[in-house]
Every structure is written in structure tokens, then in C-alpha cells.
Amino acid sequence: MSPSCDFLVIGSGLAGLLSAHKLSALGSVCLLAKKEASEGNSQYAQGGIAAAVDPGDDPSQHAEDTLKAGAGLCNEEVVRLVVGDAPARVRELADLGVHFSAKGGPPDLGLEAGHSRRRVLHAGDATGREIVQALLKRCREDRGVRLCEGHVAVDLIRDSGGSCCGAYVLQRATGSVRTFTARATILATGGAGKVYIYTSNPDVATGDGMAMAWRAGATLANMEFVQFHPTCLYHPQAKSFLISEALRGEGGKLVDREGRNFMAGLHPQAELAPRDIVARAIDSELKRTGEECVFLDMTHKSADYLKSRFPTIHEKCLSFGIDMAVAPIPVVPAAHFFCGGVRTDAHGATSVPGLFAVGETAHTGLHGANRLASNSLLECCVFAERLFGHLSARRELWEQRPISPPPDWNPGKAVKSDEAVVISQNWDEIRRLMWNYVGIVRSKKRLERAFHRMELLNREIDQYYWDFLLTPDLIELRNIAVVATAVIRSAMARCESRGLHYTLDYPQPVESERHDTLLSRFSV
């Protein structure tokens, strides 16, 4: 029999775990995880969560920093709502068992790029892991939460009235597709860093929620704004390991191979300029010199300090023979965070009835054209609470909705593939194409090349999808193709440079272009 529940939560990062925990007070919850429940972007978040908790700080200052970083595209109402709720959400996390680093009594607040003062709460340099483990423990204890690990969502299901009523889901262990029905479906699948060949994201970050929402007819917004983190560890054996912005907050300097600090004079905040500026500066330096990396110098700090403040980073660097106390860390930019996503209102509702989105999957208007550091974990917490409050107050949206069993998954004439090389070939081609043509610096010519190539790839992937039985790799390939195409379309539509979108053809912001880029499957 098909599993049914009141709330189907797809994704087990911070947004999914906290939403599931809260919604279990209202009804039954199925929480789906692609692999192990702890695997996702949230687990690897190093920096922390921003909140104006210091007596000398104020949410209005936090809001101004967020608006400034967002380069004119933030929804100011949402910004003030989120930062105003931040202290309460941090207290809630502490009540749920999250232990933030502290100096005696008050929290040890970090400074990150774009912030005008220290306001980033952290758990050493492994904040995400601390939060995920605490919430995962809660969800495992919640009787109303059924945790399904190793379940890969394939597509959303809409009923005859157009409302979302669940999803088709591939079970890794059996290879069978199960039907999960629900009165409300929540997308919390995180971002899509794996659309690019160089990323700080884990392997599960393939834009599944964005792609499924697109296919279901939901509106995507601002997909052109992809944040490239300036500093990912550069080493032949290192994979997707982030060197936190918090190091630059503690005085780290970006230098070339000769030790020259190339950020000096480029921006008043130098290394603590917004991420888009720092990433472009590094990209320009690499293109100018032909080098494969630049370096982050932390040698002004003692070994004892680095071990205690950044234990995870210190240990990882040592494992590759890099002692950050005596030598600079080799770093390169990498795709990190999607400021765009499934368009939602201030309660997480999408344009499809019965479908909600929270976390990086969603576009709430908080980040604008560039995310302020450590606002992402905050967004997850605030919108999990707002979603819960909305569904609690508006029970008519879901409580009386009948759960009618949709048709079982029909594989048609699909057979087991003997050409899996098609998946790996297209996967690699899309990611390299996106890096080369739709990366940190773009141009009309590069985008047109990418668009025409993606048209061919989409046709090939679509044919393969219908011809062969589903595998997790095929599902993810199909999803990164959708997201890549959405990023290209959105970038082509924005004839200016703003925030994270920088194009050689339109190097300045244009006031008439100061609007969200909206995409719908039915308007293409």
C-alpha cells in the first residue's frame, strides 16, 4: 500500500528537519532523505547563523547589511521579518539542544563578509553539523515523524484540481518507485551546486526540488544569482571542502604565490567585501596570472588559536600536508549557494496549491542578488516556523483535503540501461559547460553557446529518461539539466550586472532591470 501522511517533507537538511519536527505537532509526517538523513548542505555549513543578539547590535543594522549585500533586489518586508525573528529562532535552536560556542556566558560572535559588526553565532567551525545532529535526534524521537532514508524523489503528483498531493519516490534499496501521498508537500531539498564542476556542495545538491517544482508548473525566480564562495580548498585530493569566510573575519588575507595581498585597494572592506566582489577578484587574479589557485594567509594567528577556533578546517588542512599556522592555504572559488529558487510567499507557499518550499530550495526574497553570509541557516529556521504557523492557523488548507490514491508509477516500455555512460558523459558536460560559460563572469556569447548546447542535451536526456528504467544517477542528471537551463534562461534575460550576475556585455546595474526574473514551464 502507498504510504500516506498529512505532510510529506522532501529533504533532511536544517529546513526539512525543523519543518518535520514542528509539523509533527499538527499531524503525521513522512521525511524523505536521498541518502543518509544527515547528508546535505546544512551538515557542512561551517560559518554559523546570523542574529542580532549582542546588546550593542540591532535587527535594523542586520537588515541594512542584508539589503546592501542584496544589491537592490531584496524584498525589504521579508528581510525585516527574518532578521527581526532571528534572536527568537536562535534561542529555539539552543532549546532543541544546539550548543553554540561561548566565551564564559555570552555567545562567541564571529564576523563575516558584509556584516558591519560581529553577529554570527557558531559551533566552532562545524555549526551545520551541530544543528543537524541535534534536530535529527529530535526527529528520530518524534512519534509523528516517519524518517525514510535512501528515498530519491522523482516527480511531484498533482490531482485533478491541480493541487500537489505527494510525490513518486525511488527507493534505493529495491529500485522500485513508491507513491507517497500527502495533504501538503514541502520541498526542502537544498541547493544545486553540483550543476557546476567546482562546488563546495556535497553530491546530493542536484537541485531536485527546483526541478520537480518546475515540472509541476511552479514558478522559479532569480535563478541567475548563483553565489560562488571565494575560498574552497584547492588540492588534487580534496573534494568540495569549504574554507569558511570566518577565517577572513579573523584577519585572513588573500595573497598570490609571492605573498602580495591583491585585495588591498580593490574594495574598502578588502577581504570582507561581499562574496561576489571577492570571488570576481580571485577569478580575475587567476586569469591574469594563469595560476590554478590563490592563497588565504592565516599565519598571523597562533597554532593554538587556529586549532581551537577552526578545528575542522585545521585538521582537514593537516590531512593534506598544509599547516595553516605556518603556510597559506591554497584556495579557489566554487559554486556555493543559489539565491534563486522556487518562488514562495512569506509563509513558504508556492504557486502550486498544496506545495510549499523552505530553505535554499525556495526564493523568499531575503537574499536579493547576493546572500549576506550566514543568513542561509537563519532563513531555514524562520521559514520553518512561518510555514508551521501558517498551516496551524489555516487548517482548512490541508486538514480536510482528501488523500485520493493517484495512479501507481508506470515505467511504460522502459528497460534496464546498457548505456549508463550516457549519464556520466552528459553529467560531466553540463557541469563543465556551466562553469566555463555560466560561471563567475558571463557574456552574451557564452550564454548563447550554453543555451544551444543545453537544448541538445535536454532532448538526449529526455529520450534516455523514457527509454530506460530509473536510477538515482538518471534522476539527478535530469534535475541538473533543468536547473542549468533555468540558470541560463534567467541570465540571458537580465541585461545588466547586479550582485552575483556579472556580464561583460552589461557591466553596470540598470535601474529598469531592477526586478525579479520569473520562469514558469507554461510561459517558456
**Domain assignment of residue 83, yes or no:** no
Give the pLDDT confidence score for residue 45 in this predicted structure. Answer: 76
Domain boundary among 335, 354, 389: 335
Same domain, 502 and 374: no
Which residue reads 525585516 in cell numbers? Answer: 80
Return the CATH number at 262. 3.90.700.10
- 465-495 pLDDT tens trace: 999 999 999 999 999 999 999 999 999 999 9
Same domain, 197 and 259: no
> Distance between CA atoms of 265 and 407, rounded to whole angstroms?
62
Domain count, the chain: 3
Same domain, 428 and 490: yes
**Domain assignment of residue 283, yes or no:** yes
Tell me the average pLDDT across 156-184.
Answer: 95
- The pairing of strands 29-32 and 4-10 is parallel
**Domain assignment of residue 279, yes or no:** yes
Same domain, 456 and 326: no
CA 97 to chain centre: 24
Give the pLDDT confidence score for residue 1 in this predicted structure. Answer: 47
> Distance between CA atoms of 362 and 338, rounded to whole angstroms?
9
CA 423 to chain centre: 24
Question: What is the percent of the chain where pLDDT is above 90?
Answer: 80
The residues facing 4 across adjacent strands are 181
Confidence band for 2, pLDDT divided at 50, 70 and 90: low
Return the CATH number at 205. 3.50.50.60
Same domain, 40 and 129: yes
**Domain assignment of residue 94, yes or no:** no
Same domain, 305 and 439: no
> Distance between CA atoms of 254 and 328, rounded to whole angstroms?
9
Same domain, 379 and 457: no
Q: Which 3 state secondary structure label does DSSP give 357?
A: strand
Same domain, 230 and 330: yes
- 340-360 pLDDT tens trace: 999 999 999 999 999 999 999
**Domain assignment of residue 109, yes or no:** no
**Domain assignment of residue 107, yes or no:** no
**Domain assignment of residue 106, yes or no:** no
- 201-253 pLDDT tens trace: 989 999 999 999 999 999 999 999 999 989 999 998 887 788 988 899 899 99
> Distance between CA atoms of 370 and 176, rounded to whole angstroms?
40
| pTM for this prediction | 0.91
Same domain, 375 and 460: no
Give the pLDDT confidence score for residue 240 in this predicted structure. Answer: 78
What cell does 77 get? Answer: 518586508
Same domain, 283 and 242: yes
Same domain, 237 and 269: yes
Return the CATH number at 439. 1.20.58.100
**Domain assignment of residue 84, yes or no:** no
Domain boundary among 335, 354, 387: 335
Active site residues: 275
- Domain of residue 134 covers 4-47+125-222+339-397
Domain boundary among 312, 335, 358: 335
Same domain, 279 and 318: yes
Tell me the average pLDDT across 110-136.
Answer: 90
Q: Is 65 exposed, middle or buried (0-12, 13-18, 19+ CB in 10 A)?
A: buried
